[in-house]
Amino acid sequence: MVEYDETHLDRVFHALADPTRRLLLERLAAGERKVGELAEPFPISLAAVSKHVRVLEQAGLVERRIEGRSHYCRLRPEPLAAAEQWLSFYEGFWSQRLNALETALKAAPDGQSTKEEKQDE
């Protein structure tokens, strides 16, 4: 398995665990936005959105730029690529397991597994 910085991955997955933060990232995928613009569709305060943005920043998923009183955010996709790479190892693992199960089920007469056949006898 590939070596990963566990602390960094923990922060990324923690950030992605919240549906509001996932929606913020989705909105940032369209391009840079002010924090106020990000907050518009959410039924939460601007302060709450700022806290979510801070979590995304700590995970490296968002970069904030300040111009005067305006805070601009943009998506940084690199940490998402690292998380996807980590997940792809397990995708391969489960694909192999499910393929083996499918092969075993197809080989069993009438779709019954060997264990079910023994129970029927």
Q: Is 71 left (phi over 0), alpha (psi -120 to 50) or beta?
A: beta
Q: Higher confidence at residue 82 or residue 121?
A: 82
Q: Higher confidence at residue 81 or residue 25?
A: 25
How many angstroms separate the CA atoms of 83 and 96, rounded?
A: 21
Distance from chain centroid for Cα 79: 10
Range 44-50, long-range pairs (CB < 8 A, 24+ positions): 44/20, 49/20, 49/24
Tokens of 4: 């990963």
Nearest to 12 by CA among 1, 3, 25, 2: 25
Q: Is the pTM of this model over 0.95?
A: no
Range 65-71, long-range pairs (CB < 8 A, 24+ positions): 65/32, 70/34, 70/36, 71/34, 71/35
Q: Higher confidence at residue 119 or residue 32?
A: 32
pLDDT of residue 94: 74
Tokens of 30: 């369209």
| pLDDT range class, residue 114, cuts 50, 70, 90 | low
| Domains of the chain, CATH where assigned | 1-109 (1.10.10.10)
| pLDDT range class, residue 107, cuts 50, 70, 90 | confident
Please report which residue ranges of the chain form alpha helices under DSSP H. Answer: 6-16, 19-28, 35-39, 46-58, 78-107, 114-120
In tens, the pLDDT along 27-60 reads 999 999 999 999 999 999 999 999 999 999 999 9
